Amino acid sequence: MYHPLFTNIAGKRILDLGFGNGKAALYFAQKNKVIAIEKNPRLVLRLQKHNNANISVIQEDIGHYCSKIQKEEEKFDLIMARNILPFLQNKKIIEGILHQVQNALKPGGYVFLTFFGRKDEWFGERENIVFFSKKEIEEMLAPTASQNSNEILEKIYEAEERGVKPTMHNTLKYWHIYNIILQRPFLR
Ligand SMILES: C[S@@+](CC[C@H](N)C(=O)[O-])C[C@H]1O[C@@H](n2cnc3c(N)ncnc32)[C@H](O)[C@@H]1O
């Protein structure tokens, strides 16, 4: 689930957008400070029950939260937007959030994004999900060279994933996903 780039990070400020079951927030909180945003009150309560001193759990819309980040000291080293953007109604809203996410990152900070591809089992079935072609993703995002290692960043720019795997609710489906890791600035 986590790229090797993230396995040893420590002492960083991390934002988890739409944390769902909270797995990523709990993972990163072992060695980092995590701000975890979720709109579903049941999931908020569930993560709050962990009483993890390294996690600030906030019940809020992700767009609303990101739009408030202005000061440099509030910005993040890593923003997780895993399996959340495709649920935001339409491409215009998604692009708006991406601008806010870019603004909420420290210079050179990382973003983890997931998009649904058109071979996904839910394509044509779920009206509430936005699906992307590779071309559409490339039209929005521009990978920049890593400040630390060009080689790593080229490799992690895009990982296309296809296969049967469980959903958050533990039912099996065929996934077609683009996992993308980029550094700020990442928008065209
Ligand atoms: C498919 S789940 C993914 C959860 C987690 N990020 C993961 O990778 O497993 C999407 C989550 O985003 C939350 N969500 C969707 N739209 C949101 C919004 N506008 N603001 C805050 N949370 C939102 C949903 O309640 C849900 O828990």
CA of residue 39 to ligand 1 center, whole Å: 7
Q: Where are the domains of the chain?
A: 4-183
pTM: 0.92
Among protein residues, the one with the nearest Cα to ligand 1's atom 1 is 83
DSSP strand pairing (159-166 vs 172-183): antiparallel
What was the pLDDT predicted at 188?
Answer: 76
Does the C-beta of 40 come closer than 6 Å to ligand 1? Answer: yes
- Chain mean pLDDT for the chain: 89
Q: What is the pLDDT of residue 155?
A: 39
Fold for the domain defined by 4-183:
Rossmann fold (3.40.50)
What is the model's pLDDT at position 44?
98
Integer CA distances (angstroms), 184 to 4, 28, 141, in order: 19, 20, 11
Any ligand 1 atom below 6 A from CB of 39 = yes
User: Which pair of structure tokens corresponds to residue 61?
Assistant: 């819309």
> pLDDT (tens digit, 9 = 90+) per residue, 10-41?
999 999 999 999 999 999 999 999 999 999 99
Tens of pLDDT, residues 111-165: 999 999 999 999 999 999 999 998 898 888 876 555 554 444 443 456 788 999 9
Comparing C-alpha atoms, which of 1, 39, 48 is closest to residue 20? 39
